[in-house]
Amino acid sequence: MTVIEIWILSVFIFCPGAVNSDSLQTQILEARQLFPFRSYKDVQLFHYTIPNQVTFASFQYKANGSFHCPSKTVAVYLQYGSYPVMSLQNSTYPNFFAVHRLFLHDVILHSDFVPVMINITNPLPGNWYAAAFLIENTERIAQKGLFTPCLSWLSSSLKFTAAVNVISLLQETEISQTISSTQLYRFFALKNSWSSKIYLTNCSSQDKCPVIIRARQLGLPSANDTNSVSVNCGFSDDCSLNIVPAGNNWNYFSIENDMSGVLHFTLNIRTENCEDSFLDVEDSVKHNDSTDNDINFKSRNSSNVFQHSALCWPNIPLIRISLPTNLAFEYNLPPEEGDVYPFILNISNTKYTLTSFEVLSTVDIGGTLVVELAVSPFMNLSQNNVTVLGCLSYGFRPNSEDTDCADGRRLIANTSSWEHRLSTLFVPYPEAGVWYFRMKAQCYDAYHTNTSLHVIPCELPKTPIFLRIRSTPCVSGHCGKYGTCYQYVSGGLIFSTCNCIAGWKGWGCTDNSTARSNSELMLDVLLLTLSNLLFIPAVVLSAYRRYFTEAFVYFATMTSSAFYHACDAEVYSFCLIRLNVLQFCDFYLAILSIWVTLIAMAKLPNSVQSFVHMAGAVGVALGVEYDRTGLWVFVLPTGIGLIILITSWITRCYRKHLCYPSRRIWLFCLLPGAVLALCGLIIYAFFETKDNYSFVHSIWHATIALSVLFLLPKGKTACKSTPEPTSSCSYIRVGDVGCHDASQPIEGVIHV
C-alpha cells in the first residue's frame, strides 16, 4: 500500500449509503497446444490475475482437436498463488512432502468444443495458475511423418465480478451503519499487527442484534468457505469477532442482516500491534564457544526484532539471500560482526517463537520450499529430552489456539534419538506471499517413550535449535537415482520437475510400483547394442567383394548405432561422446548405408559412382541436420537411389537387349533382400511401443543388416593392363561369389 493510498484512506470513509453495483471484467488467453501427460514437463500453464474484492469468478475452458481425429480427454487443474500440485498416474510423493493445497480445483473436459466452467465465489485476489494436459493411455511410438498427428488445443477465459460497495474502515474509529441486507467491509492491517477485533454495538434491534459477522484474511468472506470465521450475534451477548489479521494487507468481513427491515448499529475495529524498538535479544543466537561440552551464550543487538507485549511472540527476523541457480534462495539469520551468518537460534521454552519469510511471485514458485528444523547436537541433557514443535502456515500466522497446527504443516524434532533430531518438510511449488513459521520447545521425562510424554520443566531457559529455510529445484536439486531434474518454461513461467526413467515415477522419482528390474534394463541394452553385430557379415562380404567404401559405411553404421544405444540407455549407459553427436551419426550413417547399397546395385561407372557417393553424403548430412527424425530424410535419399538404380538397369537392358537383372537374381537375391528390408521397415514404423522398443528395434537392426547380404551385387571387376596399345581395357572377375547370373555374358569380361 502506497503512502498516497494510506493518506487517502485516513481522510475518506466510504459512505454507508453507497450503491450496490458490481463491475464485470474479462480476461482472454490465447489457445495453447496440449500434450499427453508423461511428467510435469508436458503440462501447459495458464496465468490469470484476479484483483481485490472479486465476488464471483468463472474460469471457462474449451478444447478442440484435429477434425480427422476422435475427441480426446483433457484435464485442467486450477490453483491459487502457485502452480497446481497433483498426484497423477497413481504415483506417490517422496517422504516429508506437504502437498495439501487449500485452493485447488480441477475439471475434466473433451476436445469437442463444449466449454466447461470452474466457478469460484469470493476468490482470493492475486495470481491464479492452471495446468492443462491430455489424458492418453497409448504407448505406441508414432514415427514422425508416417501418421497424421492428432493435435488438441485449449482456450481459456476468465470472467469475474468485482464488488464496488466495500466500505473501508480505519482502526479505532467508530462509524454508524444502516444496512438492510449484507454489507462488505475491509480494513488494512500493518505488518506488525497481532490481533484484530470487530465490535458491533448500539444495535437498533430490541433483542440481541440479528446479524452474522463473517471475516476472512486477504479475500472476501463466504458462508461456504472453511477459511472464514464467523459469529452469529443473535445467539451471543457479545457481538464481536476476533481475527488473526494478514499483516501488510487488506482483511475483509461482512455483516449480514437476518431480519427484515433496516438495522442500525455502531461499528469499530481494534487491532493489537507489536511495537518496533531496539531490543537486546539475549541468547537469541548461540555462539559455539563451548568447552567441556558446556554451552556459553552471547547477546547481541538488533533493530529489526519486535518488542513483545504479553500477547506477541518473539519474532526472529530473516534475511533473504538469492542464489545463482534459478528457483534457489534461502533465508538466514541477520549477520553478526564480520558478516558471519549464525546458524544456531535459541528459542523460548515457555512461549511460541515466530519468524516469517516471503516467496516471490513467478521467480520463486517453480521450485520446492525446504524447511529444516533440528535440535542442537551440542545440548548436554541428563534429566529430560526436548521436543521442538514447528508449524508452517501461509498468508497469516498460526492461531495461538491451534496447538496441533491443524491449519498448517507440522514439523517435530526431538532428542530421543539422533535420527529424530532433524525434521524436514518439503513444499512443492509454494504459493507466493508471506509464510509464517511458529516454533516452541517442550521438555519431557527422558525415561518416557514418545507415545506417552510427560511434560516437565526444562533444565535450560532456552533451547538451541538449527533452522534453515531455503528453496531448491525439484527435491533438493536432485531426483534420486532414477531421475533427472530439469527446468522448463511454459507460457513464460519457469518451473522445475523430475524426469523419471526405468519405470520409476512420482514427484521425486521415488515410486517404484512400475519400475523395471535391473535384469530387464540390462537385457534392453544388450539387445540394442549387440544386435548391431549382425552388420559384421555385411562388412566382411563387402570387403571380400572389393566394395571398400560400402564396407566402411557398414562398419561405421554398426559402431555408431551400438554406441548411441549404449549412451541412450536409461540406467546402464556408456557415452563415448555426447549423445547428440552419437544420435546424428546413427541416423546419418543408417541412411547413408541405404544410399551406398542402392548405388552399388546400380553398377555405375567409377567416375559417376564417385560423384553420386559424394553428392549423397552431402545431401544426407544436410537432411539429417535439418530433421533427423522426419520421414522425408529417409524417403528422399531412398527414392533418388531407387530412381538411379532403375534407370541404370533399364539402360543395361536396352544396351544388351536382355532383361537385367536375370530371373535367378530376382528370385534368390533381390526378392529375399527386399522382403527382409520391407519387413524391418514395417516393424520399425508400425509396431514399436515403449514396452517392446528394445525387441522391435533390435529386429529392425537385424533385418536391415541381413538384407545387405542379399542385395549387395557380385564382386567388382578390375581393369587388367595389356601391352597391346590397340587393345581396349579388359576386365576379369574378382570375388566371383554371391548373387550373379553366370549364364549371361558381361560386357568387357574375358571368358577363358
Asked if 594 and 617 touch (Cβ cutoff 8 Å), the reply is no
**Mean pLDDT, residues 187-191:** 92
The reported pLDDT for the residue numbered 49 is 94
Counting runs of H as helices and runs of E as strands, what totals does the chain give? Answer: 10, 35
∠ at Cα 659 (657, 663), nearest 5°?
Answer: 155
Phi and psi for 304 in degrees, rounded to 5?
-110, 5
User: Would you state the cell numbers that stand for residue 687, as one nine-digit string?
Assistant: 509396431
Q: Is 50 exceeded by the pLDDT of residue 17?
A: no
The reported pLDDT for the residue numbered 76 is 96
**H, E, C per residue of 22-42:** EEEEEEEEEEEECCECCCHHH
189/249 Cα distance (integer angstroms):
6
The reported pLDDT for the residue numbered 382 is 65
Strand intervals (E) in 34-124:
44-50, 54-65, 73-80, 104-110, 116-121
Q: Is 70 exceeded by the pLDDT of residue 215?
A: yes
Highest mean pLDDT among 74-78, 224-228, 380-384, 674-678: 74-78
User: Would you state the cell numbers that stand for residue 367, as one nine-digit string?
Assistant: 521450485
Asked if 44 and 84 touch (Cβ cutoff 8 Å), the reply is no
**H, E, C per residue of 138-206:** CCECCCCCCCCCCCEEEEEEEEEEEECCCEEECCCCCEEEEECCEEEEEEEECCCEEEEEEEEECCCCC
- Give one word for 237, left, alpha or beta, with left for phi > 0 and alpha for psi -120 to 50: alpha
Average per-residue pLDDT for the chain:
83
SS3 239: coil
Asked if 228 and 240 touch (Cβ cutoff 8 Å), the reply is no
- Alpha carbon separation from 383 to 89, 445, 458 (Å, rounded): 50, 7, 9
The reported pLDDT for the residue numbered 302 is 32
Q: Is 90 exceeded by the pLDDT of residue 118?
A: yes
Paired residues of 230 in beta bridges: 214
- Alpha carbon separation from 288 to 22, 385, 435, 464 (Å, rounded): 61, 21, 29, 11
Residue range 607-651, pLDDT digits in tens = 899 999 999 999 999 999 998 877 788 889 999 999 999 999 998
The distance of Cα 163 from the centroid of its chain, to the nearest Å, equals 36
Asked if 525 and 566 touch (Cβ cutoff 8 Å), the reply is yes
608/121 Cα distance (integer angstroms):
78
Of residues 310, 404, 386, 306, the one with CA closest to residue 351 = 310
∠ at Cα 590 (584, 592), nearest 5°?
Answer: 95
Burial class (CB in 10 A: 0-12, 13-18, 19+), 52: middle
**Mean pLDDT, residues 99-110:** 91
User: CB-based contacts of 81: which residues, under 8 Å, 6+ apart?
Assistant: 103, 124, 126, 127, 128, 129, 365, 394, 431, 432, 433
- Alpha carbon separation from 519 to 522, 524, 575 (Å, rounded): 5, 9, 20
The reported pLDDT for the residue numbered 705 is 92
Among the residue ranges 59-73, 123-137, 648-662, the one predicted with the least confidence is: 648-662
620/593 Cα distance (integer angstroms):
11
Among the residue ranges 13-22, 28-37, 229-238, the one predicted with the least confidence is: 13-22
**Mean pLDDT, residues 77-92:** 90
132/524 Cα distance (integer angstroms):
33
**Mean pLDDT, residues 297-312:** 43
- Higher per-residue pLDDT: 18 or 384: 384
The reported pLDDT for the residue numbered 667 is 86
Residue range 366-408, pLDDT digits in tens = 999 999 999 888 776 666 788 899 999 999 888 887 788 887 8
**Mean pLDDT, residues 421-434:** 94
Residue range 247-278, pLDDT digits in tens = 999 999 999 998 888 999 999 999 998 874 33
The reported pLDDT for the residue numbered 74 is 95
User: CB-based contacts of 135: which residues, under 8 Å, 6+ apart?
Assistant: 36, 37, 72, 73, 74, 75, 108
User: Would you state the cell numbers that stand for residue 57, as one nine-digit string?
Assistant: 469468478
Q: Is 60 exceeded by the pLDDT of residue 93?
A: yes
The reported pLDDT for the residue numbered 752 is 26
Sign of CA dihedral 671, 672, 673, 678: positive
Of residues 67, 78, 76, the one with CA closest to residue 34 = 76
358/98 Cα distance (integer angstroms):
18
Of residues 209, 253, 47, the one with CA closest to residue 130 = 47
The reported pLDDT for the residue numbered 737 is 38
Q: Is 50 exceeded by the pLDDT of residue 718?
A: no
> Locate cell 527422558: which residue?
446
Omega cis (within 30) before 430: no
575/569 Cα distance (integer angstroms):
9
Among the residue ranges 394-403, 405-414, 448-457, 725-734, the one predicted with the least confidence is: 725-734
Asked if 424 and 330 touch (Cβ cutoff 8 Å), the reply is no
Helix, strand, coil share (%) of the chain residues, nearest 5: 25, 35, 45
Q: Is 50 exceeded by the pLDDT of residue 279?
A: no
Strand intervals (E) in 446-566:
455-456, 462-472, 483-490, 493-500
pLDDT confidence band for 660 (50 / 70 / 90) = confident
390/465 Cα distance (integer angstroms):
11
Q: What percent of the chain has pLDDT over 70?
A: 84
